[in-house]
Amino acid sequence: MLQVVGLTSAPRRDRPPAVDDLTFEARPGHVTALLGPPGAGKTTALRLMLQLEPGRGITYFRGRPLHRIAHPAREVGVLLGDVPGHPSRTLRGQLRLLCAATGVPAARADDLLQAVDLTGLEGQRLGTLSRGMERRLGLAAALLADPHTLLLDEPTAGLAAPDAALVRELLLTHAERGGTVLCTTADPKEAARIADRVVVLDAGRLVADQDATEFARTRLRPRVAVRTPHAARLAAVLTREARAARRSVEVVAEGGNRLSVYGGDRAEIGEAAFRHGVLLHQLADETIDATQTPETPSGTQSTEGPPAPAASQAAPDDLLPAPRPPRTPLQPLRYEIRRLTGVPTTPLVVAAVLVCSALLAVLLARDGRNPLPAALAGWPGFSPLPPAALGAGLLGAFSFGDEYRYPTLFSGRGAVPRRLGLLLAKLAVTGACALLIAVAVVVVDLEALRMVYGGDLIPVPRNWPALCASWLGLTVGCAWAGLLAAGVFRVAAAGVAAVLAVPVVVVPLLRKALEGTSLRSVAGLPGRLRELVWLDWPQAVDRWLMGGLRVIAQPVGAALSLSLAALLGAYVLTGLRRRARW
């Protein structure tokens, strides 16, 4: 059962709150419609129930407020506005991504696609969906974790008749299984057609809470719409015959050639028009709202009202929703892998990096004056970074940038949950992707050089372990710099800028700061660390530690390390500040 108690939105300047002291309930096994004209506060009410907006009041989902539900997606399915997601992602890819976020098996995606009649369209992109297909996909996403309660904002608005009928059938089926359905609508006829109970809002306040049958009797009025070039003549004929037959018929001129006939039927009107030679262009049954501004009908307001939970007697401060942690994927690693591989951006970036790097490698090795490491990396002297590092940084920037631009996770506090598990998953996946790019670039460039110039001109450098460590550290560091910067500034362009700032800005500043400074040697540091931690590790570990220190001591390595530390600190501080704000 869904119970709403004293729901009130935050006050607006010189205007009343959008939702004011709203209290009602939606029972399990029933479809409840929240009816009101545009601007009545229906969407705001849903957002207050989901704690997406500040305000007073509380909403209970089967006796528990939302912030005390461990896995909200398994209790509440939500459809607010358009379906979020990258426009290049496929329908199946989008639902499988949400499966990882909600912790359900990936096979559930195919079951829901079949349930909403999208079978055969699994490979279609989100950006190409029609309005009806988009709403059906949104309903599938809401049903993905098999929630008990559905909160839907105008699920049938703007849909063609077949799509609207399918959505209604799915909602009724969910209610018949014992679920609770609350949907908003601005159409009284739609409310009477789909709902078992209708809650009417006007200017954010409750004006009626009725059974659907009673609502249809008191609010909806049938009529016959007539269009004829002889409207005045036909109106006089219908009025005269109704008086002669002592029937209650009301004929209203709608202007021009239109009439609205209340109390008659199409057969009588058509026969009267035929007898008097009146030409008809339209003759159709319609049902309209009996009043444009919903008012409380006499005897229709529920005298019982929804039973007030115990918390409704609490003080107003107790009704303020407690801050809840933002939602995070239940399977963050699986979620991040699907997010990265589910869009064509990733393979396009990798392919562009490999092609550009191979061409640069062939050009750099042509005159024989460039060192082999620079040729294998495809790193000309005029470029601040090699293509592999730029590509890794771009993928890292997209990791958080796409989350903010095309939010998939339904979060109450910002577009992306800033949780440690999701951050670690993104760091792991982008780091692994950067390592794969680094290795693939070296292999492809080496094969390109062998094919063009032969293998005799490619000697193996003596310091190849240090070169490999520097190369891998550069690509992974650029990927992480792009990821963290995009997470801090909430846009992918900031991630790319942070990657480029390392060689362009940070390295020159670091070199200038170290000019003329006498530096102490760190020789013997592994031995001192062994004494400090009382561990006797192999001598090979000492060599790896010193190699890593030499890599970090290089200008680019030191600049990248400082940038990563600064970005990580900024990410943590911004996350704490946003959490404290709520």
**60: CATH:** 3.40.50.300
Q: 311 and 385: one domain?
A: no
374 and 509 belong to one structural domain? yes
Residue 326: inside a domain, yes or no?
Answer: no
Three-state SS for 91?
Answer: helix
* Pair (272, 367) in one structural domain: no
Tokens read off for 315: 């003080």
Whether 275 and 359 share a structural domain: no
Find out whether 25 and 306 touch, Cβ atoms under 8 Å.
yes
Q: Say if residue 212 is in the same domain as residue 239.
A: no
542 pLDDT above the threshold of 60: no
**% of residues, the chain, pLDDT over 90:** 32
Residue that wins the pLDDT comparison between 64 and 515: 64
Residues 253 and 301 in one domain: no
Average pLDDT value over all residues in the chain: 81
Give residue 61's domain range.
2-216+294-319
Q: Tell me, yes or no, whether 101 and 50 share the same domain.
A: yes
Question: What is the tally of structural domains in the chain?
Answer: 3
Structure-block tokens of residue 384: 């601040």
- Cα angle, residue 259 at apex, residues 255 and 260 outer, rounded to 5°: 120
Residue 560 lies in a domain: yes
Per residue in 67-118, pLDDT (tens digit) is 888 888 889 999 987 777 889 999 999 999 999 988 899 999 999 999 998 9
Of 406, 329, 399, 341, which is closest to residue 85 (Cα–Cα)?
406
Q: If pLDDT is split at 50, 70 and 90, which confidence band does 554 have?
A: low
517 vs 90 pLDDT, higher one: 90
Asked whether residue 288 is assigned to any structural domain, the reply reads no
- Label residue 220 by pLDDT band (50, 70, 90): confident
Are residues 75 and 202 located together in one domain of the fold? yes
- Whether 221 is covered by a domain: the verdict is no
Q: Which residues pair with 260 in a beta bridge?
A: 225, 252
98 and 154 together in one domain: yes
Instruction: Give a yes or no: residue 223 inside a domain.
Output: no
Q: Are both 525 and 577 inside the same structural domain?
A: yes
* Any domain includes 222: no
Residues 511 and 572 reside in one and the same domain: yes
**370 and 490 co-located in one domain:** yes
Q: Which amino acid is at 112?
A: L
> Distance (Å, rounded) from C-alpha 350 to C-alpha 284?
61
Task: Answer yes or no: is 224 within a domain.
Answer: no
Q: Is residue 563 part of a domain?
A: yes
